[in-house]
Structure 1
Amino acid sequence: MRVRDYAISKDLIAQWSFEETDGKTTYEKVQKRDDSIHYIFHDAAFQPNRSIKRRKGIRGNALWFDGYSTFIQREKESFLPPTKGMTLSMWVAPYSFGGIEGESVTALINQHDRMREIGFILGFYKTGTLSFQLGLTSGWVDLSTEGVTLPKNEWTYVVATFDSSEGIIAIYVNGKLASKQQVEKDSRFLPADVDLLIGKNNHSKMIERTFSLGMFSGLMDEVCIYERALTSEEIREEFRSYLTVNGGEIPSLKHEDIAIHREDFSNDKHRPQYHLTPPGHWMNEPHAPLYYEGKYHLFYQHNPQGPYWGNIHWGHWVSEDLIHWKDIPISLSPEKNQVDPDGTWSGCAHFDEEGVPVLFFTAGNNHYLPNQMIGLARSKVNSDGDLELKHWEKHLEPILFQPKDCNLDDDGFRDPFVWKEGKVWYQLVGSGINGQGGTALLFESENLIDWSYRGPLYISDNIKYPYLGRVWELPILLPLGKDSKGNDKHIFIISPIGDEADVEVFYWIGKWDCENGVFIPDVEEPKLIDIGDFHFTGPSAMIDPKTGRLILFTIAQGERPIEYEYASGWAHNGGLPVELFLGKDDRLKCKPIDEVKTLRKRTLLDVEKVTIAEVNQSLMDISGDMLEIEATFQQREQGCIGMYIRQSQGRDEETLLYYNQSTSEFFVDRSKTTLDPKEKTRGVQGGEVDLSSAEPLKIRVFLDKSMVETYINDMKSLTTRVYPTREDSKGISLFGNDEVIVESIRVWELRGIH
């Protein structure tokens, strides 16, 4: 413990310094007792042997709060706060501010009952504005620091005081008075009959009946409670005393000292290892691919607060080969007094007129109706030389609002997609027309800031195709090259939402009529790229400037009960990057990019022209949950043919992938995928894959823990999830008539990308 002035030390009634290196409790120095630290991974089966993190603190260690499960609890019987005066002080470094809490407060420390207007809470709103609230005999008092906000990823010394004799409550930031309020002199503090919590609000709002909002995310150190109000001078001296070992300066924080650590999830048997994943917590679709100075950048929708939807930021990865990705700090966050205080949603990336990378994003702002508009951010690479594009500056105003008087859906104006032809910029924004269904709106500009509305790019018949929903998200329009007749073709991709929508990735091939600003499909009915069910969504795409390939990125939705996402600490991952191209028959082809071959660690099987029975004999000694399997079967007879994966020795768990040659359909049967009764991975999924009777069946399967991606003759993919319970559910066997000839089968063990 550092040396204090005696007058200050004798009034200290609680102090938590978090100097432990491990354990489920933290030592409180004044009462000399251990207080419990709640943390989901202390007892979680999904993350064995994982403990709460202590990181580098203002001095010694600090405690890291994950934002959704970590808090300290002192039982109400063991803590009675003072009534005539009080000081709360602590060092905090927030990593995230939350964002779907409305006006509720993220608690730093509290022991309050808001309904009865008793107790106290010190915390901050989603904008970083500090709040000190307490119940007095004269009423409930709420003091905030409107002109002063907490910075994220930096240490800040926060102090709140209540002085009954003077009738003053105050908040100090880094030793300076930030806000104060006069209350009735000699008012007494009214304690609440609830537990003292650090890092969690006594009255947390719940979502999904599982996640508590109002919880702190980041680092906390040296939490102190005094039984009187410290003076301004004492607070300044306390602030300075902490900084003596750092030359009088607040120590800087390294990103790894405050961020979510990817390696903390390494023991999770269901977490993919060679697919795109966030370091932890929640992700939505990968989006805004960009190639810059020899590196690929990809962003993703991310909630750093926890593994649940909401509070959307832009996570960021960078890669040299589109396979091995490096985590980059969060690039865009919702911000007070910016265009996106209520969410920074999906968009795209491009370059401005001077070649500077720019991001177009959906800005959420609840002060408007509709509350979605398009924002722009420019890289600071020209000013700071940051080739990893870590720093972005948002344009102060939205560059695009939803057009008025066009009968558009008020909840549909998002996901910009931008490209340039000649001197003209074009932009698509996902939307919907009331009574007509989804569409993509077309805009054009000459300077990226001033846009004019051209009209809907394409409107489908929602009577014929109700599954296309009322709004289209994530529209994409890119060139596919020439068809067999020499005609230029484009692909138009959308993801529908709405009550009747089938939330999948649909596409049309056709003509982009630039002069009239419309897309003309070759065939009216849309097609699917993937025939799984809600595991291949959230499309984004680019034309790779290195190779000219059209590369598609998607999110692979998880399919677990919400309580399992809570217990595992992460939700969802990306699919493999997929190349789209026109085949010689003018049909769309899809396959994983060739770079996935670099993941092959060793060959487990490589045989040709053998029967299914002979292959199954060889497969008895082969197992794994990170595999690539490539099998080609002769098409000689009717019936079904395919393979079992994630098969246990007794076959009480297994997943079947098969092609029905009689109906030209491919399916996954997950009726025996897991023994866990709570898991939702059940039933049969699939659809048509129209192969000729003479065409060999080629199945390419990528297995990555809970992820399964199957590609059928480069015609369709089928993406699904599996969550077996048994440790031995790693076997493979072929399915079909034992005498069927297998032209070839190869099995590779694959390595992870991190």
Structure 2
Amino acid sequence: MPASDPHFPAAHLRPPAHWINDPNGLVFHDGHYHVYFQYNPHSARHADMHWAHFRSPDLIRWELLPVALAPTPGGDDEGGVWSGNAVSTDGKLIAFYSAKRDDRWWQPVTSAVSHDGGLTFTKHPGLLIPQPADGTSMFRDPYVWRDGERWRMLVGSGLTDGRGAAQQYLSDDLEQWEYAGPFLARAPEPLPGEGDTEEGWECVQYADFGDGRGVLLLSAWDPQGGASHTAAYPGRDHGTHFAAETPQRLDHGPEFYAPALLHAPDGRWLMWGWAWEARDAAQVGAPSTWTDEVGWAGLLSLPREVTLDPDGSVRQRPARELDALRGEQILQAKGQVTTGSPCDLGTTGRSFDLTARLHRSADGGATAGLRLVTSPDGSEYLDIALDAATGELVVDRTHASREPRAQHGSWRIPRTTEPGDFAELRVVVDRSIAEIFLGTGEALTLRFYPLGEEPWHLQARSAGQGAADFEIHGWQLNPLSIEDKSDGNGRSS
């Protein structure tokens, strides 16, 4: 961690410098969790994509290893080794990725194989899928998995008729692939809260929950605005196609994208996403003077466990291994709060993990909330509170940074807490990121950039008329153990 940067994370994966984006190639292989990710080894800007590499035996102790895949000058991926996934088979690790070149609007699919535990790869001599099917307007980001005796691949797509799609290919040997048509193709559909599924899908992923039930994850690409948000379709896999149910917004915050799945040895589905910056650039990947100054951009979310309820609800919670990062208990409080009389709950550092129960009074007149105050005069703060009118959880960073280049705004999880009920929360704050999880399985991720020095202060507050109850337990969040085995530019140290 750069010692002088108060916003560099302690418990989230990213290398010491430069640009990162999508998690790629998530796989358990040779006794390790492998997390590859998009990485520019030369600057904090979105360019020159490589696959960088973390691995861990337990999700707590990590090694940052040398870059695993780099563009080949003059080759099919000379414009970048873009997103994809990896599979472990017959003692090998095989990566599938999008081959970027500036003279093609689509990104063909190719592969590379590792015989040394994922440290180095030999690229396939040609392209596995040189071009998309007719009627395709966008094509990138393969996702491959084994289904019985065959292999299946989904590729994120847009179709010329305005639908987003996950196009499917089948193979017996991971070499020869046959086009099987759209696994799912849909016109834009509204999502709970805000947004829709858009006209283009990228980073499509599929989680098989057995008995034909599964979840298709997608990152919604707006042809006019670019990367937008994430969605999940629960449904039933019929092999040739996916019978999708109503789509759900996967994360309700403004800075969560390109989630990728890992099927853990114990059967759990784990998921990481990319949390981009909310600094001075209005568009994702646009040049930012602030990120140029600090020399880094982007981080990976906490690993999350993803489950599918019988009613079709897609649930998320932090991976249970992360409980080991909890250090000293720093907060413990229970009480009642009224409007205009906030309760001081204690102090925190820049990284902490807390659970909270926030009440909506039985008459619906008052709701409880939290305020993280990060400046001595109280002018800099992040609010996490129940809306007094709707009972929805609202996260507001309008006053979260005195730095004028920080982006602002508020977001909500459209899940009503009924009068008389409690909202159960888990909140993980790590220097410049907050990940909030409702006990009902929804998540909201955002970035914020406090300038105030430690200690920070946590308050319980209330909105509306009357009194509302609260209960808080909080712990210091210890850093991940990361052994850097590269020189910061992707070369062996």
TM-score between both structures, scaled by the size of structure 1: 0.59
Checking the alignment, whether the CA contact within 8 Å between 2:360 and 2:417 is kept in structure 1 is: no
- Are 1:374 and 2:97 an aligned pair? no
Report the AA paired with residue 702 of structure 1. Answer: V
Partner of 1:446: 172
In structure 2, the residue corresponding to 1:686 is in which secondary structure? Answer: strand
Kindly indicate whether residue 394 of structure 2 is the aligned counterpart of residue 673 of structure 1. Answer: no
1:460 aligns with 2:179: no
- How far off its partner does 1:661 sit? 5.2
Report the residue type matching 1:654 in the other structure. Answer: Y
Structure 1 counterpart SS, 2:229: coil
Aligned-pair CA distance for 1:325: 2.1
2:28 equivalent in structure 1? 291
Cα displacement (A) at 1:488: 4.1
- 1:574 and 2:294 matched: no
In the other structure, the counterpart of 2:245 is 522
Alpha-carbon deviation of 1:371?
4.8
Which residue pairs with 2:445 in the alignment? 719
1:324 CA drift (Å): 3.2
* Separation of aligned partners in 1, 2:231 and 2:215: 10
Query: 2:260: which partner in 1?
Result: 540
Superposition deviation, residue 507 in structure 1: 0.7
Shift of 1:538: 1.0
Return 5+ residue gaps in structure 1 as ranges: 1-262, 382-386, 482-486
Is the CA contact 1:279–1:327 (under 8 Å) kept in the aligned structure 2? no
The 2-side partners of 1:434 and 1:656 are apart by 43
* One-letter amino acid of the counterpart of residue 520, structure 1: A
Name the structure 2 match of 1:628: 353
Q: Which amino acid is the alignment partner of residue 474 of structure 2?
A: V
Would you say 1:491 and 2:215 are equivalent positions?
A: yes
Native 8 Å contact 1:469 1:501 kept in 2: no
Provide the residue aligned with 1:301 in structure 2: 38
Structure richer in helix, relative to its length:
1
Partner of 1:564: 290
Matches within 5 A, 1:111-126: none
Deviation at 1:321, TM superposition (A): 1.4
**Structure 1 pair 267/502, CA: closer, same or farther in 2 (3 Å)?**
closer
Q: How do 1:255-294 residues align onto structure 2 when only pairs under 5 Å count?
A: 263=1, 265-294=2-31
1:422 aligns with 2:143: no
**Matched length:** 464
Larger % of strand: which?
Answer: 2
Q: CA deviation at 1:502?
A: 7.0
**Structure 2 counterpart of 1:327, which letter?**
L
Deviations 1:200-231 (A, max 9, x none): xxxxxxxxxxxxxxxxxxxxxxxxxxxxxxxx
Structure 2 counterpart of 1:311: 48
Task: Tell whether the 8 Å contact from 2:214 to 2:236 is kept in structure 1 after alignment.
Answer: yes
Mapping 1:574-723, distance limit 5 Å? 574-583=300-309, 585-608=311-334, 610-612=335-337, 619-620=345-346, 622-637=347-362, 638=364, 639-660=366-387, 662-680=389-407, 682-693=408-419, 695-723=421-449
Offset of residue 413 of structure 1: 1.5
Asked whether the equivalents of residues 707 and 720 of structure 1 are also in contact (C-alpha less than 8 Å), the reply is: yes
Q: Is the 8 A contact 2:369 2:386 kept in 1?
A: yes
The match for 1:194 is none
Aligned pair in 2 of structure 1 residues 314, 616: CA closer, same or farther (>3 Å)? Answer: same
Q: Deviations over 1:226-249 (max 9, x none)?
A: xxxxxxxxxxxxxxxxxxxxxxxx
Corresponding position of 1:240: none
Please list every run of 5 or more consecutive structure 2 residues that lacks an aligned counterpart in the other structure. 281-287, 483-493
- Does residue 403 in structure 1 map to residue 132 in structure 2? yes
- 1:122-161 matched pairs, under 5 angstroms: none
In structure 2, the CA distance between the partners of 1:313 and 1:603, relative to structure 1 (3 Å rule), is same
Partner of 2:200: 471
Residue type at the aligned position of 1:539: P
Residue 365 of structure 1 is matched in structure 2 by: 101
* 1:634 CA drift (Å): 3.6
Change (3 A) 1:267 1:442: same
Q: Secondary structure at the residue paired with 2:290?
A: helix
TM-score, normalised relative to structure 2:
0.89
Residue matched to 2:285 = none
Q: Distance in 1 between matches of 2:131 and 2:320?
A: 40
| Map of 1:391 onto structure 2 | 120
Question: Does the 8 Å contact 1:490/1:512 carry over to 2?
Answer: yes
Deviations 1:693-723 (A, max 9, x none): 4542111111110111111124211111111
Maintained 8 Å contact 1:581/1:589: yes
What is the SS of the residue equivalent to 2:291? helix
Q: For 2:146 and 2:460, how far apart are their aligned partners in 1?
A: 49
User: How much has 1:618 moved relative to structure 2?
Assistant: 5.6
**CA separation of 1:602/1:616 partners in 2, compared to 1, >3 Å: closer, same or farther?**
farther
CA distance in 1 between counterparts of 2:237 and 2:310 reads 21
| Structure of higher CA gyration radius | 1
Q: Confirm or deny: 8 A CA contact 1:702 1:708 kept in the other structure.
A: yes
Change over 3 Å in CA distance of 1:582–1:307 after alignment to 2: same
CA distance in 2, matches of 1:573, 1:619: 30
Distance 2:419 2:241 in 1: 38
Any idea what SS the aligned residue of 2:12 has?
coil
Letter in 2 for 1:636: S
Q: CA deviation at 1:305?
A: 0.8
- Name the % identity: 26
Aligned pairs for 1:182-193 (under 5 A) are: none
Shift of 1:543: 1.7
Q: Secondary structure at the match of 1:504?
A: strand
Deviation at residue 580 of structure 1 after TM alignment: 1.1
